[in-house]
Chains A and B, each alone.
Chain A
Amino acid sequence: MIIAGIIILVLVIISIAIYNSLIAKKNQTDNAFSSIDAMLKKRFDLLPNLVETVKQYMEYESDLLTKVVALRSRASNPNLNNDEKLNIDQELSYEVKGLMVNVENYPNLKADQSFTNLQITWTESEEQIAAARRTYNAAITDYNNAIMMFPGSIFAGILNYTVKPVLSIPETERGNISAKDLFNS
Chain B
Amino acid sequence: MTASAPLDPATMEVLNVLEATRIALRKKMMIHIVICCAGAMIAVLGFMSTLIPIGIIGIICLITGFVLMSISSTAVDQYRLDFKQKVIAQALHTIDDSLEIDPKRGLAENEFIKSLLFNRRPDKYRSEDLVEGNGGKTKLSFSEVQAHYKEVTNTKRGRQETWHEIFSGVIFQADFNKHLKGTTVVQSRVFGSGISDWFMNNVQLFSGDDSRVKLESPEFEKTFITHSSDQIEARYILTPLMMESISTLNDRCKYSISLSFIGNMVTIAFPQSKNYFEAPLFKSLMTDGLLKEDLELVRHIYQVIETLNLNTRIWGKD
Instruction: Please report A residues at the B interface, Cβ cutoff 8 Å.
Output: 13-14, 16-18, 20-21, 23-24, 32, 35, 117, 120-121, 123-124, 127-128, 130-132, 134-135, 137-138, 142, 146, 152, 174-179, 182-183
Contacts and interface: CB of A to CB of B under 8 A. Distances in A.
B216 A138 contact: yes
B203 A176 contact: no
A135 B315 contact: no
Interface in B215-234: 215-216, 231-234
B233 A131 contact: yes
Given A20-B204, A20-B205, A21-B204, A138 B312 contact: no
B236 A128 contact: yes
Contact of B313 (A20, A176, A179): A179
Contacts of B232: 35, 128, 131-132, 135
B20 to A, nearest CB: 51
B4 interface: no
A18 B202 CA distance: 7
Contacts of A174: 240
Contacts of A117: 316
A14 B241 contact: no
B241 A124 contact: no
* Across the A-B interface, the 4 shortest Cβ-Cβ residue pairs: A21-B204, A17-B205, A131-B235, A131-B236
A178 B203 CA distance: 41
B57 interface: no
Interface of A is mostly: helix
A175 B306 CA distance: 16
A176 B311 CA distance: 13
A176 B309 contact: yes
Nearest to A182: B314
A101 B62 CA distance: 80
Contact of B239 (A20, A146, A176): A176
11 contacts: A18-B203, A21-B202, A127-B315, A128-B236, A130-B235, A138-B231, A138-B235, A152-B202, A175-B240, A179-B313, A179-B314
Given A135-B235, A179-B314, A17 B204 contact: yes
Contacts of A131: 232-236, 239
A182 to B, nearest CB: 6
